[in-house]
Structure 1
């Protein structure tokens, strides 16, 4: 893909493709083709670990995707080497930063409303645990400190994963201290993350921190559609992503139409829509 990609119409920083913990609608290559059809770009995510190699292969065919790694124990865990392997596999053919997610398995008690089938018969989600990021006194684990330190200055984005509100605040503080330049608060106002609109407004002065609102959060009615306008008014670095890729969820083209219809219903300007879906994600990823 040409550096800068000035003609993109939409960037989705959170799209699931198989193989993953659950069955997905598309493979990475299939998803990339759907985003190419709408002149979009997607970050492909899998709870099984890294999508760096799959997205590198797709880009060799001119397809518009970049990768992520989720630091679940299943994928190597919270270690500098887990990040490094994915960063190397991601290549240097794109300016897009690799997204690095803190753990998403065994870290929350939230029960999803989604009806999903596991990808492999031997996957037992009850056995997937993650080590605490912080001790009872709020001090970061050595694993977290080492991993964040290794990411300072690297072409990566740190995503808070399935951290709760308290731990997310602590992660942001530790990440900034480690010199990480771009941080995204993953589905910030979803119940498992627990941030309020007021919390998001308080983070508006922290220029390294971007706020993610997912279409899935709205579609599952965890928040009302009006919430999109409220967050956009509260923080200039709001990013609307899909968090789709489930077998029964919209395609990339359908997501674009759905997100535009929501923005129109809320009387969000074209500039506001572009801010959430293109300008801010472009800045976050470095595209």
Structure 2
């Protein structure tokens, strides 16, 4: 597959690409990724583990853009943690015209915590970032046992803070992604999110070692809560996953409930366009229909960002 697929004016949207500046070495900043997206004809959600990207992305978007350039926030401790603070900060930065009274009205993505989760820290010897990802050790942080973020429904204060975050996401009809929570935490957050009125939910690379959802559970979360399962290109190499595992998810959930993303932006990973072409091409070699790839990379992602969802 040489050209990225599209359906009329709807383009591929990569819902998960990392940008700098941050402690990690990155291939892109908002401006260089926007330039590639325009040149290659894909939309993109730009992510940073340490700060909202909405301010950066809003300032590189142009009125004549034919591709979606979208910001996000990951609710790690540095971005305000799991409460409404980080969500509000991201909304504040989502303003193309800084003289305007109100932020832009379109959607962006809110990730639950990634690097500061207990589930994540258990995978990386209690450090937030692995040196294998391209960071000097002096810029990593060690978290003592029990100091990372957990979803604890027995803790009234933490539960109230989580509910404030989810309510702000619901009130602004934003997209919730589940981050690096563990299996049980992910199930709890998805259920609470729907009860709070959140309509747009992504299970962040749910085969990732901190979460480890099984295809049957992903199917149930799609059927009961409309939660999309994300399959990410970079996890194949970085987490030793296989296309056969991914195809098992597609068969269990159905293409209507899966999105394909790259999760690239590391200095050692391919450019987004090359990653997506390789990703889609390998699926086709293994018998995944082109229509299903279009469903997962074009139709589902455009629905999440731009269409009404009951």
Give me the TM-score of the superposition, normalised by structure 2: 0.82
Match of 1:110 in 2: 123
Aligned counterpart for 1:87 among listed residues 85, 91, 95: 91
Deviates more, 1:156-165 or 1:136-145: 136-145
Do the aligned residues in 2 keep the contact of 1:190 with 1:222 (CA within 8 Å)? no
Do the aligned residues in 1 keep the contact of 2:209 with 2:239 (CA within 8 Å)? no
CA distance in 1, matches of 2:206, 2:191: 16
Do the aligned residues in 2 keep the contact of 1:17 with 1:25 (CA within 8 Å)? yes
- Note if 1:204 corresponds to 2:206: no
Paired residue secondary structure (2:24): coil
Match of 1:188 in 2: 206
Q: Provide the aligned length of Structure 1 versus Structure 2.
A: 282
Match of 1:54 in 2: 56
Do the aligned residues in 1 keep the contact of 2:54 with 2:72 (CA within 8 Å)? yes
Aligned counterpart for 2:17 among listed residues 10, 15, 18: 15
Aligned counterpart for 2:77 among listed residues 73, 84, 106: 73
Once the two structures are superposed, the pairs formed by residues 248-267 of structure 1 within 5 Å of their partners are 248-267=268-287
Shift of 1:67: 0.4
CA distance in 1, matches of 2:241, 2:231: 10
Unaligned runs of 5+ in 2: 1-6, 97-102
Once the two structures are superposed, the pairs formed by residues 233-244 of structure 1 within 5 Å of their partners are 233-235=251-253, 236-244=256-264
Once the two structures are superposed, the pairs formed by residues 93-104 of structure 1 within 5 Å of their partners are 96-104=106-114
CA distance in 1, matches of 2:140, 2:29: 22
Change (3 A) 1:155 1:88: farther
CA distance in 1, matches of 2:84, 2:20: 25
Shift of 1:207: 5.0
Give the aligned CA root-mean-square deviation in angstroms: 2.6
Q: 1 or 2, which has the higher helix percentage?
A: 2
Shift of 1:147: 1.5
CA distance in 2, matches of 1:94, 1:33: 21
Q: Deviations over 1:151-208 (max 9, x none)?
A: 2231311111110110000001110111111111111111211101121122231353
Paired residue secondary structure (2:171): coil
Unaligned runs of 5+ in 1: none
Paired residue secondary structure (1:283): helix
